[in-house]
Amino acid sequence: MKDPLVVFIPSGKKGRFSTGTPLLDCARQLGVDVDSVCGGRGICGRCQVVIAEGDFAKHGIVSNAGNVEPLTDPERRFDVRTGLIAGRRLSCHARLLGDLVVDVPPESQIHRQVVRKRAEVRAIEIDPVVRLHYVEVAEPDMGVPDGDHQRLVTSLREQWNLSIRAIEPDALETLQAVLRKGDWRVTVAVYQGNKIMRLWPGFEDRLYGIAVDVGSTTIAAHLCDLATGEVVAACGQMNPQIRFGEDLMSRVSYAMMNDGGAAELTASIRAGIDQVFAEAIAEAGIPGENVAVVTLVGNPVMHHLLLGFDPVQLGHAPFALVTNEALERSAASLAIASLGAGTQCYFLPCIAGHVGADTAAMVLSEAPHLGEAISLLVDVGTNAEIVLGNKDRLLAASSPTGPAFEGAQISSGQRAAPGAIERVRIDRGTFEPKFKVIGSDLWSNEEGFAEDVANIGVTGICGSGIIEALAEMLLTELLTKDGIIDGTKREFCPRLIPEGRTFSYLLHQGIPEIRVTQNDVRAIQLAKGALYAGARLLMDEMEIDTVDRIVLAGAFGSHIDPKYAMILGLIPDCALDHVSSAGNAAGTGARIALLNAKSRTEIEALVAKIEKIETAVEPRFQAHFVDAMAMPHKTAPYANLRRVVDLPQETQVENGAGPRRTRRAGRSRTTRQ
Reported as a single tens digit per residue, the pLDDT across 115-124 is 444 455 456 8
Q: Which residues are paired to 506 by β-bridges?
A: 515
Is 392 among the domain residues?
A: yes
Question: Which is more confident, 53 or 38?
Answer: 53
What is the rounded distance in angstroms from the CA atom of residue 207 to the CA atom of residue 155? 21
Q: Is the pLDDT of residue 653 over 60?
A: no
Is 663 among the domain residues?
A: no
CATH number at residue 227: 3.30.420.480
Describe the strand order of the beta sheet including 579-583 as a list of residue ranges. Answer: 579-583, 549-553, 375-379, 384-389, 394-399, 611-612
Chain centroid to Cα 197, Å, comes to: 32
pLDDT for the residue numbered 118: 47
Half-sphere exposure of residue 420: CA atoms within 13 angstroms, side-chain side: 22
Is 55 among the domain residues?
A: yes
Other Cβ atoms less than 10 A from the Cβ of 5: the count is 19
| Percentage of the residues of the chain whose pLDDT score is greater than 70 | 92
What is the rounded distance in angstroms from the CA atom of residue 146 to the CA atom of residue 20? 67
What is the rounded distance in angstroms from the CA atom of residue 283 to the CA atom of residue 636? 50
| CB-based contact 148:319 (threshold 8 Å) | no
| CB-based contact 407:460 (threshold 8 Å) | yes
Q: Which long-range contacts (CB under 8 A, 24 or more apart) does 573-576 make?
A: 573/546, 573/632, 573/636, 573/637, 573/638, 573/639, 573/640, 573/641, 574/376, 574/546, 574/547, 574/548, 574/549, 574/550, 574/640, 575/640, 576/640, 576/641, 576/644
Segment 76-92 shows an average pLDDT of 74
- Residue 121 DSSP label: P
User: Concatenated DSSP letters for 468-503?
Assistant: HHHHHHHHTTSB-TTS-B-GGGGGT-TTEEEETTEE
- Residue 109 sits at φ, ψ, to 5 deg, of -90, 140
Q: Which of 230-234, 423-427, 503-507 has the lowest mean pLDDT?
A: 230-234
For residue 504, which of 492, 520, 515, 513 has the smallest C-alpha distance? 515
Q: Is 425 helix (H, G, I), strand (E, B) or coil?
A: strand
Identify which of 8-17, 129-138, 432-441, 656-665 has the greatest average pLDDT: 432-441
User: Does residue 350 sit in the same domain as residue 363?
Assistant: no
Q: Write down the mean pLDDT value for the chain.
A: 88
Is 122 among the domain residues?
A: no
What is the rounded distance in angstroms from the CA atom of residue 615 to the CA atom of residue 532? 12
pLDDT for the residue numbered 106: 72
For residue 195, which of 156, 249, 144, 229 has the smallest C-alpha distance? 156
Q: Which of 74-83, 106-115, 145-154 has the lowest mean pLDDT?
A: 106-115
Question: Which is more confident, 313 or 109?
Answer: 313
**Ramachandran region of residue 666, left (φ > 0), alpha (ψ -120 to 50) or beta?**
left
pLDDT for the residue numbered 246: 66
pLDDT for the residue numbered 659: 45
Range of the domain at 95: 5-109
User: Does residue 393 sit in the same domain as residue 540?
Assistant: yes
User: Concatenated DSSP letters for 359-399?
Assistant: HHHHHHHH-GGGSSS-EEEEE-SSSEEEEEE-SS-EEEEEE
Is 452 among the domain residues?
A: yes
Instruction: Tell me the pLDDT band of 660, cut-offs 50, 70 and 90.
Output: very low
What is the rounded distance in angstroms from the CA atom of residue 207 to the CA atom of residue 284? 12
Q: Which of 203-217, 242-256, 631-645 has the lowest mean pLDDT?
A: 242-256
Q: pLDDT tens digits for 556-613?
A: 777 889 999 999 999 999 999 999 988 789 999 999 999 999 999 999 999 999 999 9
**Ramachandran region of residue 483, left (φ > 0), alpha (ψ -120 to 50) or beta?**
left
Domain stops at, among 466, 493, 516: 516
User: Does residue 247 sit in the same domain as residue 315?
Assistant: yes
Is the preceding omega at residue 22 within 30 degrees of 0, hence cis? no
pLDDT for the residue numbered 114: 45
Q: Is 413 helix (H, G, I), strand (E, B) or coil?
A: strand
Name the helix (H) or strand (E) containing 62.
Answer: strand 61-63
pLDDT for the residue numbered 44: 66
Segment 197-210 shows an average pLDDT of 91
For residue 374, which of 233, 494, 190, 538 has the smallest C-alpha distance? 538
pLDDT for the residue numbered 652: 55
Is 206 among the domain residues?
A: no
What is the rounded distance in angstroms from the CA atom of residue 280 to the CA atom of residue 278? 5
Is 657 among the domain residues?
A: no
What is the rounded distance in angstroms from the CA atom of residue 385 to the CA atom of residue 359? 7
User: Does residue 101 sit in the same domain as residue 14?
Assistant: yes
Q: pLDDT tens digits for 335-378?
A: 999 998 889 999 999 999 889 999 999 999 999 999 999 999 99
The whole-model pTM stands at 0.78
User: Does residue 381 sit in the same domain as residue 494?
Assistant: no
Q: Is 437 helix (H, G, I), strand (E, B) or coil?
A: strand
Q: Is the pLDDT of residue 623 over 60?
A: yes
Q: pLDDT tens digits for 7-20?
A: 998 778 889 999 99
Name the helix (H) or strand (E) containing 305.
Answer: helix 300-307
What is the rounded distance in angstroms from the CA atom of residue 212 to the CA atom of residue 223? 9
Q: pLDDT tens digits for 448-464?
A: 999 999 999 999 999 89
Domain stops at, among 47, 75, 109: 109
Segment 372-395 shows an average pLDDT of 92
| CB-based contact 378:531 (threshold 8 Å) | yes
Domain stops at, among 486, 516, 546: 516
User: Does residue 397 sit in the same domain as residue 327?
Assistant: no
Instruction: Tell me the pLDDT band of 201, cut-offs 50, 70 and 90.
Output: very high
CATH number at residue 604: 3.30.420
Q: pLDDT tens digits for 525-546?
A: 999 999 999 999 999 999 999 9
User: Does residue 259 sit in the same domain as residue 323?
Assistant: yes
Q: Is the pLDDT of residue 274 over 90?
A: yes
CATH number at residue 144: 3.10.20.880
User: Does residue 391 sit in the same domain as residue 448?
Assistant: no
User: Does residue 528 sit in the same domain as residue 395?
Assistant: yes
Q: Is the pLDDT of residue 654 over 60?
A: no
Is 428 among the domain residues?
A: yes
Instruction: Tell me the pLDDT band of 83, cut-offs 50, 70 and 90.
Output: low
pLDDT for the residue numbered 156: 94
| CB-based contact 360:599 (threshold 8 Å) | no
| CB-based contact 595:500 (threshold 8 Å) | no
Q: pLDDT tens digits for 119-172?
A: 554 568 888 899 888 999 999 988 888 899 999 999 999 988 999 999 999 899
Segment 287-306 shows an average pLDDT of 95
105 to 7, 46, 452: CA distances (angstroms): 14, 11, 22
pLDDT for the residue numbered 116: 42
What is the rounded distance in angstroms from the CA atom of residue 14 to the CA atom of residue 29? 10
Instruction: Tell me the pLDDT band of 215, cut-offs 50, 70 and 90.
Output: confident
| CB-based contact 386:535 (threshold 8 Å) | yes
What is the rounded distance in angstroms from the CA atom of residue 560 to the CA atom of residue 552? 9
User: Does residue 238 sit in the same domain as residue 353?
Assistant: yes
| CB-based contact 586:297 (threshold 8 Å) | yes
| CB-based contact 260:244 (threshold 8 Å) | no
Instruction: Tell me the pLDDT band of 82, cut-offs 50, 70 and 90.
Output: low
User: Does residue 501 sit in the same domain as residue 613?
Assistant: no
What is the rounded distance in angstroms from the CA atom of residue 523 to the CA atom of residue 43? 14
Q: How far apart are the first and last CA of the chain?
A: 72
Report the domain count for the chain.
Answer: 5
What is the rounded distance in angstroms from the CA atom of residue 377 to the CA atom of residue 387? 5
pLDDT for the residue numbered 57: 79
316-336 b/e (C-beta count within 10 Å ≥ 16 → b): eeebebbebebbebbbbebeb
pLDDT for the residue numbered 166: 94
Half-sphere exposure of residue 340: CA atoms within 13 angstroms, side-chain side: 25
pLDDT for the residue numbered 587: 92
pLDDT for the residue numbered 16: 94
User: Does residue 25 sit in the same domain as residue 170?
Assistant: no
Q: Is the pLDDT of residue 663 over 50?
A: no
